[in-house]
Amino acid sequence: MVKLLRNGWQMLNRGRGGLWFALLFVFVSPAFSASFTASLDRNTIVLGEPVTLTLKFEDGQPQGPLSLPVDGLRITSSPEQSISSVFSAGKQTTVYSYAVSLEATRVGEFVIPPFNIKMNGQTFSSQPLKLKVVASDPSAPPAGNAEKMAFLWVELPKTNLYINEPVVVEFRIYLRSDVRRYGDLQFSPDGNGLTFSKIAQGQQYQRRVGNATFTVVPLSVAITPVKTGTVSLNPINGSILLNGRDPMDIAGFFGPPTRPQRAPLTAERMDLQVSPLPEEHVPAGFNGVVGSYTMTVTAGPTNVVAGDPITLHVQISGHGALDTLSLPEQTGWDNFKTYPPTSKINASDPLGIEGSKAFEEIVTPQNSDIKVLPPVTFSFFNPEQKQYRTLTQPALPLIVRAATPGAMPAIAATHAENPPPAADVISIKQHIGTVAQISAPLVEQPWFLALQGVPALALLSCVILRKRKESLENNPRLRRQRQVAQLVQEGLEQLRIQASENQSVEFFATLFRLLQEQLGERLDLPASAITEAVIDERLRPGGVSEETLTSLHELFQTCNLARYAPVESGEEMAQIIPKLEMALNELREWKR
Amino acid sequence: MNSVNLQMNRWKWRFSHHTFFATAFSVLYCSIVLLLTTISGFTADASAGFDAANGLYEQGKFAEAASAYQQMIQSGTVSAAIYFNLGNASFKSGQVGRAIAAYRNAEKITPRDADVRANLQFVRGKVQNPSFSPSLGQRWIAVLTINEWAGLAAAVLWIWLALMAAVQLRPALKESLRTLLWCSGFATVLLSGCVGAAWSGNSTRTAIVIVQDAATHNGPLDEAPIGATVHDGAELSVLDTKNDWLQVRVDGGRIGWLKRDQVALASGM
């Protein structure tokens, strides 16, 4: 529910020569733990290149317009909004992102001041953002690479590091302008004595190398040395698949054919010198954090009864390995019962080395003599300044009242409703019980999985049965064919019995009926309409063999003759059966 | 003469027939007796070992009792009671992490044993944070064991397919079974999702700290800076492994590397 005032900011931009954009929110979602970050996709650009500014709002939307005049920067695109939802640790977080493309009008170093926004009744500030605009790329690859369709160029900002100091390595994939598509990137940076973050792909941009124009696909990785001495980025032997043309591109379908080709992406080994942290002037409580940070501490409530919980919020913001950052053990908290802190990282870059980490710790004052919350200190080593820094939050005034007799502190009262905890473990078992192994779960047992196929097969059989039944119902000829086949089979059995029992009249009646049924089915006529005449009228023109026709004539005539001169001998009747069988078989094989 | 020969042949046939059956019966009988003797001997040995370990426990020799239970398990004699008692002996000898590992194994054999659950909960309460705490969804899935979820899902699947088969055989039933078909189909999909979630949880490896205090490192090297300290009994989900190191999630935002010999590995959360 966002309405963008595009014309508004364009006009303001022209009028004041600065950077303005405004967002009007009709609906503000209710949220309880909102946060806000601003980031640029790159910190250094060449004059004329665009850079993307992204504002992210978690669990909330800003109220009112945002504006930021920056001389020398201008917006070149309208804001693009995206909304995403993340479900993590049982909590759903909605992230609203707004991205605008900026362009510099001159060379220099720009600082975009913090955005101050109001969200859900609270004021949030972002980090100031630095952008360096240079006239030409200081790390441009040699002009000789202009001949290549694609190549890899590694940008390592520094090679002398301190242990645990993160640095962002940019792997730039240069794709010449005649490359239309690329894919199947085979590339995995590795190293010795280094840990790697996940790979983040940045915004693509254009660069000139020699006389050719290339599209640069930047892939960034944060590396952190975990041992001193010489550590190295291993050589890279990757590749990328280049397609000259998109097969789905109809407009390009009639152009010259192109063939996919694989281009190598290689880089040589790079060594880094890693220094240990200085051993002099190490502050007390230093726990190995390297980077550049600021700290804010808040606590509440500050007017409590002894034993009541107080929530301490410590937010550490800046640049460094946020995932491994932890609060050092604090001193001076002897009169408080402390609980392990929970933490949440709010990174402003995809590599997780810029942003803030918020710690939340529950502390409970144990007596009413306490007047302050002790100072919170956090020490780190700043590799740029090459010295240790200690941030200290002064003691916060606190009012702690004595607990009145009979009144239980909040936590204790909650616990009192639960049954009293057990004093010890339940004693050992005296019988060994059933000796059994720990077996794999049912879902990993082949027999169990196979068993689930049984009802599926049964259902499949039912479906096939039903389909066959339906097919038979919709095909009367097939149905008659099957009925006649069944009738003939039973009739032949009956003939054999009648022959063996010398039942002449019944025998020839059955014989005649079988001939009628089979011929009727083949000629698609009622059985009662079949006489000897159909042999010459219908079967002979249909191409039935002369031998079969003769045989059928004989059988009909035998039936007719038997009416007047019954055959008495069972043997004679039995001799007719094979002849009938042969004639019926040949009729069945006859194709009309 | 012929009659005598015939009788002799019949006698021989009867004799050979009787001999064959008698021999076969004897072999079968001996085999059964041998098998039963072996099993009873094995059970008797296992029971004797179990009683001896229990005796050590009753005398307060908890470490020795734990070793005795452990030896039984290593020799292939495994039961929920052995793991349960091993958990008790480990806990009493101050090895909280090993106790938790043993109770978890006992729980895998008898997931509904109230004693196992009670002791596991009790011992977990003694663990100093940080340790793994399941999310609401994970707690909900853990209401049933993975086998219970699988059995339930299979039963509903069978009912659903049986109803569909009935509709195929008697299309007239389609209207009257429509609601039941939809409900059972939906339940099958839902329960299959639960089975998937339970299986995913079951496939997760957990590292249980078995030393008093273990420092996590920022990388899989001894020289790597130290991060958080975890304590005996902490249950941490394993994210990655490298040589003799395990990358673990310490709490919500922190990860670190622990040495393999500082933890006992278990499957499931």
d(CA A486, CA A492): 10
Smallest Cα–Cα separation from A516: which of A480, A556, A568?
Answer: A556
Residues A206-220, mean pLDDT to the nearest whole number: 86
Lowest mean pLDDT among A94-103, A492-501, B92-101, B118-127: A94-103
Residue from B61, B133, B218, B231 to probe the interface with A (highest A Cβ count within 10 Å): B218
Question: HSE on the CB side for A446, CA within 13 Å?
Answer: 0
Residue of B nearest to A327 (CA): B228
CA distances to A185, A203, A502 from A220, rounded to whole Å, are 15, 11, 100
By the 8 A CB rule, do A433 and B79 touch? yes
- Stronger pLDDT, A257 or A539, i.e. the higher one: A539
List of chain A residues whose C-beta atoms are within 8 Å of the C-beta of residue B252: 89, 342-344
Paired tokens of A178: 């005649």
At residue A407, the pLDDT reads: 41
Distance from CA of A275 to the nearest CA of B (A): 12
- Sorted by sequence, the CB contacts under 8 Å of residue A100 that are 6+ apart come out as A21, A52, A53, A75, A77, A78, A79, A80
Q: Which residues of A touch B154 (CB under 8 A)?
A: 448, 451-452
Q: Which residues contact A181 (CB under 8 A, 6 or more apart)?
A: A242, A243, A244, A245, A246
> B3 vs A577, which has greater pLDDT?
A577
Highest mean pLDDT out of A354-358, B5-9, B181-185 = B181-185
- Please determine, for residue A270, whether its predicted confidence score (pLDDT) is greater than 70: yes
Shortest CA gap A234–chain B (Å) = 17
Residue in B58, B265, B24, B183 with CA at minimum distance from that of residue A427: B58
pLDDT (mean) for A46-69? 76
Q: How would you classify the pairing of strands A303-305 and A399-401?
A: parallel
Neighbours of A402 (CB within 10 A): 11
Which chain B residues are Cβ-neighbours of A196 within 8 angstroms?
none
Angle, nearest 10°, between helix axes B80-92 and B2-58?
Answer: 20
Residues of B in contact with A227 (CB under 8 A): 219, 221, 223-224
Q: How far is CA B218 from the centre of its chain?
A: 33
Residue A265, H or E segment? strand A261-267
Under DSSP, is residue B100 helix (H, G, I), strand (E, B) or coil? Answer: helix
* β-strand partners of A123: A118
Quick one: pLDDT band at residue A404, thresholds 50, 70, 90?
A: low
If you average pLDDT over residues A536-565, what whole number do you get? 86
% residues pLDDT > 90 (chain A):
12
User: Which range, of A114-128, A190-204, A387-401, B226-240, averages the lowest pLDDT?
Assistant: A114-128
Q: What pLDDT does B82 receive?
A: 92
Q: Is residue B35 very low, low, confident or very high in pLDDT (cuts 50, 70, 90)?
A: low
Within 10 Å of residue B156's Cβ, how many Cβ atoms? 20
Do B131 and B236 touch, CB atoms closer than 8 A? Answer: yes
Grouping H, G, I as helix, E, B as strand and the rest as coil, residue A91 is strand
Instruction: Please tell me the predicted confidence (pLDDT) of residue A310.
Output: 85
- Angle CA A435–A440–A443, to nearest 5: 135
Backbone torsions φ then ψ of A290, nearest 5 degrees? -120, 135
> Taking the complete model, does pTM exceed 0.90, yes or no?
no
Spell B84-109 as b/e; 16+ CB within 10 A means b: bbbbbbbbbbebbbbbbbbbbbbbbb
Residue A336 pLDDT grade (very low, low, confident, very high; cuts 50, 70, 90) = confident
pLDDT tens digits along A464-495: 998 888 888 888 888 888 899 999 999 999 99
Integer Cα distance of A552 and A538 in angstroms: 13
Q: Is the pLDDT of residue A191 over 80?
A: yes
Q: Which residue has the higher pLDDT, A411 or B91?
A: B91
Find the mean pLDDT for residues B68-86: 90
From A356-370, B89-103, B171-185, the region with the lowest mean pLDDT: A356-370
Strand pairing of A205-209 and A160-162? unpaired
DSSP state of A539: I
B84, B87, B168: residue with CB nearest A462:
B168
β-strands A291-300, A336-338 pairing: unpaired
Q: Compute the average pLDDT of residues A449-462.
A: 92
The partner residues of A39 in beta bridges, in order of sequence, read A54
Structure tokens at A81: 């909004």
pLDDT over 70, % of chain B: 81
Model confidence at A408: pLDDT above 70: no
Report the pLDDT value the prediction gives residue A51, as an integer from 0 to 100. 84
Distance separating alpha carbons of residues A1 and A573, to the nearest angstrom: 95
Structure tokens at A25: 């929110």
In whole angstroms, what is the distance from residue B76 CA to residue A432 CA?
14
Interface touch A324/B255, C-beta < 8 Å:
yes
Greatest mean pLDDT range, B110-114, B129-133, B180-184: B180-184
Record the tokens describing residue B265, joined without a space: 């590995």
Each residue's pLDDT tens digit, A77-90: 877 888 877 665 55
CB burial string A176-194: b at 16+ within 10 A, e below: beebeebeebebebebebb
**Distance, CA of B102 to CA of B264 (rounded, Å):** 10
Say if residue A420 is preceded by a cis peptide, omega within 30 of 0. no
- Kindly state the average pLDDT of the residues B5-25: 55
Put simply, the answer to whether A436 touches B80 (Cβ < 8 Å) is: yes
Amino acid at A465: L
| Between B170 and A309, the higher pLDDT residue | B170
- Grade residue A19 by pLDDT with cuts at 50, 70 and 90: very low
> A315 vs chain B: nearest CA distance in angstroms?
13
Q: So what's the pLDDT on residue B65? A: 93
On whether the CB atoms of residues A134 and A44 are closer than 8 A, the answer is yes
In chain A, what residues touch B225 (CB-CB under 8 Å)? 163-164, 226, 288, 324
Confidence of residue B85 (pLDDT cuts 50, 70, 90): very high
Q: What is the mean pLDDT of residues A210-217?
A: 86
**What are the pLDDT digits (tens) for B160-188?**
999 999 988 888 888 888 899 999 999 99
Token output for A43: 């910190």
Mean pLDDT, all residues of chain A: 80
pLDDT at A355: 85
Asked if residue B205 has pLDDT above 60, the reply is yes
Separation of alpha carbons B245 and B221, rounded Å = 8
| Helix A453-473 vs helix B146-169: crossing angle, to nearest 10 | 10
- In degrees rounded to 5, what are phi and psi of residue A544? -70, 145
Between chains, do A442 and B122 touch, taking CB under 8 Å as contact? no
Strands A2-4 and A23-25, bridge-based pairing:
antiparallel
Residue B208 near residue B97 (C-beta atoms within 8 A) = yes
Name the residue among B82, B118, B254 with its Cβ closest to that of A343.
B254
Q: ∠ at Cα A12 (A7, A13), nearest 5°?
A: 100
pLDDT at B70 over 50: yes
Q: What is the mean pLDDT of residues A159-178?
A: 89
Give A71's DSSP letter: T
DSSP-assigned letter for residue A536: I
| A87-91, A98-102, A335-339, B89-93: least confident range | A87-91
pLDDT of residue A22: 46
Residue A169 has which token pair? 């390595």
The residues pairing with B208 across neighbouring beta strands, listed in sequence order, are B235, B264
What local confidence, expressed as pLDDT, does residue B74 receive? Answer: 87
Which pLDDT score is estimated for A406? 42
Name the closest residue on chain B to residue A434, using Cα atoms: B79
Helix (H, G, I), strand (E, B) or coil at B18: helix
Residue A98 near residue A54, CB atoms below 8 Å = yes
Confidence of residue B98 (pLDDT cuts 50, 70, 90): very high
* Closest in B79, B151, B223 to A435, CB measured: B79
Of A226, A344, A437, the CB nearest to B221: A226
* Assigned token pair, A185: 């990137």
pLDDT, residue B64, reads 92
pLDDT the model gives residue A65: 65
Q: Is the pLDDT of residue A15 over 60?
A: no
pLDDT at A462: 92
Mean pLDDT of A248-259: 54
In which band, very low, low, confident or very high, does the pLDDT at B200 lie, cut at 50, 70 and 90? confident
Euclidean distance between the first and the last CA atom of chain A, given in angstroms as a whole number: 73
Q: Residue B262: pLDDT above 80?
A: yes
Write the burial class of residue A220 (CB in 10 Å: 0-12 exposed, 13-18 middle, 19+ buried). Answer: buried
Choice between B144 and A6, residue whose per-residue pLDDT is larger: B144
